[in-house]
Structure 1
C-alpha cells in the first residue's frame, strides 16, 4: 500500500495578497534544489490517526511551533510521482520563518561511508505569493495551492 501523509498549507491574506507558507526539505539531496522542491509541512499518517490530527502533529514537528488553531479547509488528496498520497488542509494563520525549529533525521552520508549524519528535516520556511509558490512547490502539491486559491477566490 502507498504511503499516506497529511499536511497543513498555512495561508494569510486573500485575493492578490494571498500568501502561503512552504518549507524546504533538509539534507544533502535537497541542498541545491529549489523550484519544485518546496512542500507544505507534512508527514505520515499513523495507523488509526485522523488525517488532520496527523497534519497538526507534523506541522509542530517540522516547524517547532504549535499548529494553527483556525478552521481547516479540506483541500483533498494528491498523488506524488513516488506514488505517495498527501491529504492537504489549509488553515489561516501566521508564522515567522525565523522561528523555524525543525526535527532531525539520521542517514548514512556520504553514501556507502558508514558514517551516520544528522540533518534537519526542514531547513527553511518562507511565505510566497501563489504564482511563486506553485513554481517552488513539489508539482503534485502545487495542485493544493491552486485548489486553495479557487476556494478563496472562486471568481478569479
Structure 2
C-alpha cells in the first residue's frame, strides 16, 4: 500500500509518498490540505524531518531509502544526480559524461524531466550548458530557490 503525506514548507506544500519501506515520490502539491490517503508512517515522518532540515539549511544529505520507478537508463541518471554535491551544479552534458554516455545530453534531460523524487534526487542541480536554469517539474522559480538555498549554506 502506498502512503502519502502533504505538509507545508517555505516553498509551498510538498507531498512525499512511500511504498514497501522506500520513498517513491516527492512532489509539490497544489494545496497542503489535499487528501491523498494512507498514513504518516515512520519513514514518511523521517522524510519530512529530513526535508525540513534541508530547507532550513541544517541538512546537506539525505539518508532515506529511495525506489523510483523508471527505465534502467533513467535510474542510472537519477543515481548520477544524487552524486552531485550539495551546492554544486552540473550541465546535462556533464551528467551524460558521468554515466559514460557523453552523447546522451538530451536523454539525460528527458530522464531529469521524469524524476519522481524531486529534491531527494537533486535534478535541480542540473543546468543548461550555458549555465542557465532550464526545466524543472515544480517550475524555474522553485529551482532557483533551491539553488540559492544551497549556495547560501554551502560553506557552513
Report the TM-score, using the length of structure 1 for normalisation: 0.28
Report the TM-score, using the length of structure 2 for normalisation: 0.28
Please identify which structure carries the higher helix content: 2
RCO comparison, higher one (Cα < 8 Å, 6+):
1
